[in-house]
Structure 1
Amino acid sequence: MQMGIKMISKPIQSAKRKNLVRNCIAKTVSAFNGSIKYRLLLFFILFALIPLTILGAVSYSASKTTIDSKVRDYSERLIKQTAENIDFRFSRYQDTMIQIITNPEIIAILKNIDDPRSNPKGLESLPLTTKLAYYIATSPEFKSVSFISRNHYIRGIWWTRGVDSRSPLYRDTMDGGNKFQWFPTHVANFADSAGSGDENVFTLTKQVFNLVDGDSLGVVAFIDIREEILSDICRQSVNGLPIQCFVIDQNGMIVAHPDNRFLFKNSSRLFGGKGLRRLLKTTDGVISFSGRYQNQKAIINAITLESTNWRVVNIIDNSYFYKESNRVIRAIWVMAVLCILVAILAAFLLTQRITTPLQKMLTVMDQVVAGNLSARIAENSAGEDVKDEFTILRDNFNFMIAKTEELVQKVYTEQNGKRVAEIKALQMQINPHFLYNTLDTIKWTALFQKANNAAEMANLLSRLLHISLGKGEETVSVADEIEHVRCYLGIQKFRFNFNIEVRYDIAKETLALKTPKLILQPIVENAILHGLADKPEGGMIMITAASMEGKLRFEVIDNGCGIERDVIENFNESQRKTGEIMSGIGLANIDERIRLICGPEYGLRIFSVHGQETKVEIWLPIFE
């Protein structure tokens, strides 16, 4: 009985397993038909991963020797380039040193540096200190430029503590004659009036000689250069590769290293005594050998700098060295053909399943980008019930474009109304006090001067109002805008009797062009009331108009008191808050009106030298 039960149970279990397998296959097929992710995954596994794996295995043994040779050649070229970059920098520093010590004004001051009447610290030689500060300010690599004589120390900006005529740097330079002397990286303490601090620097020195008779002045010029300059060159030269690059001096001491922990240490700790002796061996060209670096096998390259007897060292770890040999070289062509054939087949199958719906979407997207918001992706043909990612993307895209079209139309309608309202509102902000004051002046002038000047003022005012009101249009010709300014200045001369010379430089080809009206008069008014008000002797205003770079440019220049720098920066960076830096409508108001009428790339630009002059540029499009 039990045997019968067992025999019956076995077919049942076998059927369950078969059903389970069928379900897994069905789910896999369903996933393949319904999801792009599974299609791509399957195609990449079959037609990319397998051929590339075979290709890598076959090419490894064939490429190892060739790659090793190329890596060595590359490392030698790399270290030569690094040495050339450092020598170029050092040559620049030496040229700067020559400029300093051959400057006639500096030599004239240094001749008398040890005069008993000189200040013990040379601080009274302000011209020399200023010149040294100039070299520091124009060369960010320099930490300090200074001179040391037997009794004095003159610096530019920073005061170097502990440096005088008793220091080895001074003695060795004096003993070296007319040679450049390079001293390796050391910690120097720099101080100024604000405080002090330590910094890693290496130093270039040279003895100073009289330019006339060639005699030594007993003075040494010092340039302290930041160590990070050399470290940055080393770091950049390896271009992110796992290669260590650093500089050692003739004794094996580390001068520059991207990792500051290695500074001031003897490199024998890294290479051992035997390795260091090979590095310091005098030779032309690149020294290259296999050795140990921090107890790890490595390829070591070194080259001596031309400008000094320091050496640039490159370390390539063996693990990286042989890792590069995994690349395909010789067998790549045979396997590449196979991969291309497989890729073509895979691309054909994949393209048929994927690119057709994508192409439809891209076509509609191009239409939308071109401005056709009514474009939609067509529905699937009858009988296609697959609800894959393309279908979801199509439906969501169509919905998004429909909503976007609705919102754009709504925003356009609102913004268009708002823009018209803003332009009209800004146009209405002209301060009427000027007109009231002018009419009042005309009245009193007519009474006191028997109406002669009053008639002229009335004529000017009539012309001014005619141009201002016009026919209700937003623009006028350049000729009318200049005439409007002339009328305004004529009235102002009657009112205030000022002594201001006004010059015009209007290009003939601009007179017929169009410009937003009433943009020059407020700027001229600002120049008179704020720029030239405090100049009783009078001043000058220059008004120009020219066509430049396909645009119309006005300039209003006055030689008044100028505008403070922070106000100009605020305006030119579009961060102004009130914009009211003049009376009546402000510069910000004019700028905003121009931008609303002409576009955001047009408007005002202000340039001013406080206490000297102010120039306001107006940039407009060419309106015929």
Structure 2
Amino acid sequence: MNTLSRLIQHSHLGFRWFQLKNYKIENKLLLTYPLLIIVSITVVSTFAIYFSMYLFQGKSKDNFQNVLKQISYNMDMQLKQQDLDTYLFIQDLEVKRFFNSNGIADSPESVQLKIDLRNLLTNYLLSHSNIERIVLINNHDEIVSNTDEPFPLSLAEYRQTAARGDGKMVWMKTQIWPDDKVVIPVLRQINDLSTLKSNGVLLLFVKEKIFRNSDFKGDLRVLEQDNYIISSNHADQIGSSYTLPNVSAFLSDTGSFIDKADGMFFSYYKSEYTHWTYLFSIPTKELYSGIEVVRNWVIVVAILFTVVGILLAKVIASNISKPLIQIIREMRNIEANDLSVNLNYNGNDELTSLATTFNNMMNRIRQLIERDSQLQRLKYELEMRALQAEINPHFLYNTLEAINWIGRIHKVNEICDITTMLADIMRYSINRSKDIVTIQEEYEHTKKYVGIQQIRYTDNLRVFMDIPKELLHARIPKLTLQPLVENAILHGFENKLEAGRIRILGFANQEFIKITIEDNGCGMTPEKVHTLLSPQELRMHTGIGFFNVHQRIRLLFGEPYGLDIRSELGRGTMIIITLPYHEVNDHVQSINY
């Protein structure tokens, strides 16, 4: 149980280590920066080393393949040329005489012939430095050679081996002579051109060292198809069978592989002419010796940069944390009611912006405190003025009520109607409890205003309203219709002799509600229409004008809504009010006035 508790405690501590919010900023930077630097440099260094090894290995494979291919090509060219040069002995008359001799070796003609042939063979060797010895053998086992050294094999074996080639070059296994000379016997059966029967054998002993290449640091072996070693840098391997470390690798004509068990790198190339395999091998340690130097330098540089990074992290963390500590200290002074605090920080970084913002905030706070103290001093005076403002409407309502009773006493109905409607209009206009009303409420207010104007203009003013019942409960800004009707009456019918007519119609679709106010007044020019919907109209109008109504609609409902004025000089004006559609009570009937 104690072990489980310790594990839980250690896991809790490890979890808290990852919660950097529990540490100071300087400690956070000192924890994260070096860790990120070490991880980054380690990842980059590891990638650089392995990528360098990959590239180096690829370049090495290509390089060895090209070198082996060039060696094979050069050897094939030499062997082909040597093969062509041996045709000299087929066409030479003295060689033919030797092959056609009757076997009398002691005759003067035979002795002289052998002397001439030895001179011929010696001259041939002078122009072919890669050949150690050359021998002619006829069917009577007579031989002619440039030297009198004995043969390691019987003449019958040479003749039988040459017969397998049927006129072509036949390579035998490598031989090591007593004087440590390493040669490779090559035989060609010489056939009579007329009968195609064997006349004898041409035997060449090619020097094995022609296959060696001093440019290689590793080992170069030449293998026959049965893996017999023709040539090798190690003399003790010549003449033996080579055991392949990776037999499947030789299924192709060229390639390379690594024998991890012995730590060796192998590259091979098979000749198309002789079908020999040129096998190169080198220890992987020597192959990657250059990579080890690169790896060591990368490690040294990584350690150096890690140390430098940690030191820089310490300096950067200190430079970042000190200004923050200063800001925190000043903020604590504010907690002690010291509002005269200002941060002095010089720089062009984010902390400068933070200090500037902090100072601006403090200046704003001091201004607000000063303003609040001034407002407190004026509070009593404002409250008194508000009480006085509430007295004036009551006095006006009482006055209108007195006029109304005077009209009733004298039975003047027009005075009664005007005072009643004017009182209702004032109550509607002064009431500030809500800014948005229903169309029916706005209609009732407009109806009372029109009633007063019709008493004034008698039969010279006719107003027609038709609003569908489904629109009566839709929302509309307060004092929208009445100001527009008022403008039509006061300005549209000015200097007009015939009776003024105003039509107020409403209709809607699924998106909009349209209310049109159309009059037969004097109309306006396009310039005048443009002025009415611009801020300039506010300076020209003392009441609630077109721009005021237009802006209130747009502020409440958005840009697509508002007023659209269409007017033609001398023919009247149409104002289109666009409002958003809302579902209304279907039981409210449409109003016709």
Asked if Structure 1 and Structure 2 have the same fold, meaning a TM-score greater than 0.5 normalized by the shorter chain, the answer is no
TM-score (norm 1): 0.37
- Whose Rg is larger? 2
TM-score (norm 2): 0.39
